[in-house]
Structure 1
Amino acid sequence: MCSVYEFGRGKKKPPQALTASGFDSLADDVRLIRRTDKAPVYLSDGSVHMMRWGYERPGLGVVNNTRSDNFESPMWRDSIEHRRCLIPVTAFYEWSGPKGNKRTHRFTSRDGEWLWMAGIWETADKLGECFSMITTAANALMSPIHNRMPAVLTDEELSPFLYGELMTFNPAPDTLLVNEANNPFIKNPPSHKQDELF
């Protein structure tokens, strides 16, 4: 599931449901965030922390996503009960098709603002603060591409999620746009633009 996303502040502003504390420290430049990279997350106390993407677990390595249907697992239970966060995202990527001929899909919000992903976090002895992105069942826009997707929250869901009142996620298809894109992992992608998928 989601293993790379973009973050860039630009002209984007936090929703009214969130306090402005800490947002001035966010970078203006667009950055590609991969597993183990540090990225900003918003905590329930209104602060923004730079955290490493991915929990580290013996035998599992880096676990950067948390399934919403697995919250009762000992691995996630304490975090979902006590340490929720919001992950601001400019765009996220998914791939479809056979190995060696995969298509890259880039998802953004329809209004050009941040997408807010549900997340959890912990403090690890050696790695410091780490976060994991919550994933849920794919909506109608995502399902032709992948069977799961990030838990994208509406403005009305931000506070209920942060304060433990929201446990299920149903991202609305009409809040997202998807376009075929160049693979962000390729250093010298083709210069031509690809057509919009949907």
Structure 2
Amino acid sequence: MRIAPPDHDRLTRLALETVSEAAAEAQEQIVDVTWGIRLALRWLMISGVIKDWHVRQFVEAIGSPIRDAYNPHVEWRSRADVAARFVDFCHQQLGLPCGFGPPQRHRERRWYDEMLDPDTGRAQPWLMCNRYRPGERETIRQHFGAKMWRETNDGPAIVHPKDPGWVVRQVDGALVLDQMTWGFPVVLTGRRGQPLKPKPVNNARMDKLGGFWKRWTGPEHRCLIPAMAYAEAVGPSGEMTTTWLSIRSMPVFAWAGLWRDSEEWGPVYTGVMTDNAPELAHVHDRSPVILAPEDWPTWLSGPADGLAQFDRPWPAADVIVDATPVRWRDGGR
């Protein structure tokens, strides 16, 4: 039942403001459901604005960890919309103008995936490349002139975070082809301080290499990630399709990467990203750092203070854009 405007009091408006702020924050990250938020929800329920099932749904939407490891972007966007609709419903019940108000700008941003910023442990508000085609093992080995480091299975045709993927690194001056898990594990803690399941951080921003990533920017931790194409999600939430990007002049190219040994998953690697070329910004605002063959030695063994020269996109004129009708949620095949 809708409450008449004269029945509004300061506590109800304060409660509405509290849940509105929580819903706005949920557009960007998982929210810590504080006692203040719970008290606000309780007051709105006592006031007859919402029911207990509204509370459960809202708390689930803003505060629970993302469960869908394969399509987290879909779950994330769906939850953010639930939180926004909850606030609109409260406004309607109170006879107030609908709309998310100032936080509307959050809802207009493109949220495609739950990517962790290792500096903060929070989800990043940008999707980095999180699937790519590496190509055949022998083709890769010959292209890079590398020796097999150890015998392994071929791995998937399309690599997703936590999948095994090929990595070229330098050992005693020679290039070797190794297989590692894609994504540095980052272990967060739950509300009670308990360790949560590790999350893969499969991309490192070039402009962040001086922070969290600095310990792995030495030559001993640099690598090349062989790829034939990488994918981006394009389109509105729920209707995103897969766009593949490849390099016209290089059927197999080298994506700048970092690697390390981890206790959780063994050897792991991550790809370095930079701002995209303006001509390709409609696909995504970032792109992998792609290295020309003559730049491989510098990336693998040059001084760390010289890496900034690679903070640039590959020329757009040499990039092939293949926009497919394949839904992103289906794995981008």
Provide TM-score, normalisation by structure 2.
Answer: 0.50
Q: Structure 1 residue 131 and structure 2 residue 273: aligned?
A: no
Task: Say which structure, 1 or 2, has more relative contact order (CA 8 Å, 6+ apart).
Answer: 1
Identity score, percent: 23
**Residues 1:20 and 2:139 are matched in the alignment:** no
Aligned to 1:148: 286
CA 1:93–1:187 in 2, change beyond 3 Å: closer, same or farther?
closer
Query: 1:24/1:93 Cα in 2 relative to 1: closer, same or farther (>3 Å)?
Result: same
Match of 1:108 in 2: 246
Q: Which moved more, 1:165-174 or 1:35-44?
A: 165-174
Q: State the match for 2:168 in structure 1.
A: 42
Q: Deviations over 1:31-68 (max 9, x none)?
A: 01000000110002211111000011122721110000
Distance (whole Å) between structure 2 residues aligned to residue 147 and residue 111 of structure 1: 22
In terms of fraction of residues, the more strand-rich structure is 1
Query: Match of 1:194?
Result: none
Please say if residues 8 and 28 of structure 1, whose CA atoms lie closer than 8 Å, have aligned partners that are also in contact: no
Measure, in 1, the Cα distance between the counterparts of 2:153 and 2:247.
Answer: 19
Deviation at 1:183, TM superposition (A): 3.4
Is the aligned partner of 1:183 residue 2:312? Answer: no
Question: Secondary structure at 1:3's aligned position in 2?
Answer: coil
Structure 2 distance, partners of 1:24, 1:110, is 31
Distance 1:184 1:84, change over 3 A: same
Contact 1:9–1:29 (CA<8 Å) still a contact in 2? no
**RMSD of equivalent CA atoms:** 2.8
Q: Structure 2 residue aligned with 1:173, among 312, 316, 325? A: 316
Change (3 A) 1:178 1:11: farther
Alpha-carbon deviation of 1:86? 0.2
For 1:2 and 1:183, locate their aligned partners in 2 and report how far apart those are by CA, in whole Å. 16
Structure 2: unaligned runs, 5 residues or longer: 1-127, 189-197
Asked whether 1:79 is paired with 2:79, we answer: no
TM-score norm. by structure 1 comes to 0.82
* C-alpha separation in 1, matches of 2:311 and 2:331: 35
Residue 120 (str. 1) matches residue 246 (str. 2): no
Tell me which amino acid in the other structure corresponds to 1:166.
Answer: L
Alignment length (residue pairs): 187
Give, in angstroms, the shift of residue 146 of structure 1. 1.1
Question: How far apart in 2 are the matches of 1:22 and 1:28?
Answer: 12
Compare CA radii of gyration and give the structure with the larger one. Answer: 2
Summarize deviations over 1:133-168 as a string: whole Å, max 9, x none.
Answer: 000001134311111111111112211111134333
- Give the aligned partner of residue 192 of structure 1: none
Q: Deviation string for 1:60-108 (max 9, x for gaps)?
A: 72111000000111x3111112400000011110012220222321011
Alpha-carbon separation, structure 1, partners of 2:252 and 2:181: 20
User: Does 180-189 or 54-63 show the bigger shift?
Assistant: 180-189
In structure 2, what is the equivalent of residue 5 of structure 1? 132
